[in-house]
Structure 1
Amino acid sequence: MKNKNTRTTYTRKTKKKSTVFTAKFFGNLILVFFFFVVVSIAYHYRSSFARYLGFKSQYTNENTDVFSEARNLKVLEKNDGKVVGIDVSEYQGEIRWSYVDTIEDKYPLRYVLIRATVGRDRLDRQFKRNWLGAKENKMIRGAYHYYRPNENSLEQAELFIKTVTLKKGDLPPVLDIEKLPKEQSIERLKVGLKRWLKAVEKHYGVRPIIYSGEKYYDDFLKEEFSDYLFWIANYNFYREEIQDDWLFWQFTEKAKVPGIDCKVDVNIYNGDLQQLEYITVE
């Protein structure tokens, strides 16, 4: 007697094999795609990798990120002629300022942006030391405030004003906004940011700069704060040149700088040294 289920069982087995084959095929296709992506990136950064490995070979015991370092070199090469600087806070510990001179043994560090205050009630523990150290090291210096969205904006401005004394040759004050509010709307956040900016501008007589990530800038700040100059953070590997409408570009948070024991942010100013000096406080 014939088994009525034979055809059905055979069909099911065929379908199962076909599904497994399809899954393996697409899995292998994805692996091949990623392989070519990695090879393409490696080829694109080949000169930077070679220079990095040659320059760093004496530091074989260091815990380094080869890809990040190679990308940093590529960005610096592509923006040659623009001014390079760093930004620091208490997270960099005690900086030996007399050693802070170049990055990758080639590109001079001309300026530093230093965190001064956080919210309405906290001073950066290393601000005073960094503020004096940068001046003694003959670097153009600037101070920034880390803005907390859910705290009073005028109290935050008052704390910054009490903490930071700008002198001739210093950069304009900077407002660092990175977080979205939890207890207020975006519109109320923008009102608070404007109050901080106006209070600080009135005190120092110079318009502040705004720092933020590129997405935050595009989504919330670009249109309503178009009268201000921006310092933008973007670490994406495909971004290799500063945008025309950015004043500063923070292109990495993983750079090694002499005199600083941990990784540090590096920035590119959208101009030469003379242009940078032009925007400083008079």
Structure 2
Amino acid sequence: MSRRTALWTTSAVVAVLAVLGLLVANGVVWPNRILAARYDVRGVDVAHYQGQIDWDVLAAQDLDFAWIKATEGASHTDPRFAENWAAATRTDLLVGAYHFMSFESSGADQAAQLAAEVPATPGTLPPVIDLEFYGSYFQNHPTPDEVHAILDPLVAGIEEHYGAAPIVYATEEAYDLYLAGRYPDLPVWIRSVAWAPGLSDGREWTVWQYSNRDRLPGYDGVEPYIDMNVFAGTRAELEALTQD
């Protein structure tokens, strides 16, 4: 191969990789969509970042479920939760609420915050505890003992108030640090947007967040993307998790 040919080949490869990277960054190409396509039951999770949501339009996008951000820590309520909850529960979607767990307030106080904002409504999905890193905790992870001291009473408070075990959402790193080998009765919602998930302790996941770069009609917020998820089962099996 001549030097000129080698340069052209290298330039072409770099150009293709750059275009591919741009397509991935903008959600046009997302390899996990192929892997997730084998699951029939799919849904979204949303927060105020998606802005005003037309739930009738969103629900028509071949979706089965939606979890809506409700609370965070011991005092914060998502400003669009009440609006989203009222509108989403009027659709055919299976709907639930999620709580973003803080490492800076007690589990009992966080459970009380969730209970104050999210009604225990028959037919809705169980609450979700969102366990992931934020702010300075990305670099300085709390210890397992610190996290369990918050998570244990949070789980207990949710079970007592709603009569159902919560689902725990976690990144793969958070799962390995805090959940692996523990909480066997709690369904796991795993975030794995780069590849298909495989939990380190051999446990089966219940919900998989496979993309954070999808775009769907029906919302107009500052966040152009929406998270996509699949359920490891049938819609009837997901309905079986709803509150009595």
In structure 2, list runs of 5 or more residues that go unmatched. 1-5
CA displacement 1:179-233 (0-9 Å, x = unmatched): 2596964302212100110011011111111111122112321212222111110
Assess if the C-alpha contact under 8 Å between 1:150 and 1:184 holds in 2.
Answer: no
* SS of equivalent residue, structure 1 residue 117: strand
Matches within 5 A, 1:186-225: 186-225=144-183
Matches within 5 A, 1:131-210: 131-179=85-133, 180=137, 185-210=143-168
CA displacement 1:96-153 (0-9 Å, x = unmatched): 11101354xxxx1011001100111110001001101111122110011001112122
Q: Which amino acid aligns with 2:207?
A: F
Change (3 A) 1:155 1:272: same
CA distance in 1, matches of 2:142, 2:33: 41
Q: Note the C-alpha offset of 1:241.
A: 9.1
Q: Decide which moves more: 254-263 or 110-119.
A: 254-263
- Structure with greater contact order relative to length (CA < 8 Å, sep ≥ 6): 2
CA distance in 1, matches of 2:197, 2:150: 33
Match of 2:208 among 245, 249, 255: 249
Match of 2:196 among 226, 239, 257: 239
Q: Which amino acid aligns with 1:67?
A: V
Structure 2 match to 1:59: none
* 1:74 aligned onto 2:42: no
Q: Which amino acid aligns with 2:167?
A: I
Change (3 A) 1:115 1:253: same
Change (3 A) 1:96 1:127: same
Assess if the C-alpha contact under 8 Å between 2:96 and 2:124 holds in 1.
Answer: yes
Change (3 A) 1:184 1:65: closer
- Higher percent of residues as helix: 1
Number of residues of Structure 1 aligned to a counterpart in Structure 2:
221
**TM-score, structure 2 normalization:** 0.81
Change (3 A) 1:88 1:274: same
* 1:274 aligned onto 2:231: no
Q: Note the C-alpha offset of 1:67.
A: 1.8
**TM-score, structure 1 normalization:** 0.70
* 1:112 aligned onto 2:66: yes
